[in-house]
């Protein structure tokens, strides 16, 4: 997954190393795990919310389909 993300951003190895070094300089070694943990929680919450919306849409579509079938009988 990391390689596909890097290909999407069109970054080479040197650019990635530069970004990592800059992140270490800006935030320090102790702060980066906290930042990544927060990022992971945010991504997980976003996925959960999008799955909830998808589930709600599918349930409403199924209820409309069942209502149509019941009205036709």
Q: Give the side-chain half-sphere CA count within 13 A for 57.
A: 6
Cβ pair 36, 44 in contact under 8 A: no
Domain coordinates in residue numbering, the chain: 2-72
Cβ pair 15, 7 in contact under 8 A: no
Q: Is the dihedral of CA 41, 45, 51, 54 positive or negative?
A: negative
User: Which pLDDT score is estimated for 49?
Assistant: 95
DSSP state of 10: T
Cβ pair 16, 6 in contact under 8 A: yes
Mean pLDDT, residues 51-71 taken together: 83
Q: How do residues 3-39 score in pLDDT, each as one tens digit? A: 655 555 777 888 888 888 888 888 888 888 888 899 8
pTM: 0.56
Q: How confident is the model at residue 48 (pLDDT cuts 50, 70, 90)?
A: very high
């Amino acid at each position: 997954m990391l390689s596909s993300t890097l290909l999407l951003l069109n970054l080479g190895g040197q650019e990635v190393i530069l970004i990592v070094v800059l992140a270490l300089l800006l935030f320090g070694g102790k702060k980066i795990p906290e930042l990544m943990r927060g990022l992971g929680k945010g991504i997980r919450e976003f996925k959960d919310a999008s799955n909830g919306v998808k589930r709600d849409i599918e349930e409403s579509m199924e209820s409309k389909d069942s209502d149509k079938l019941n009205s036709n009988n």
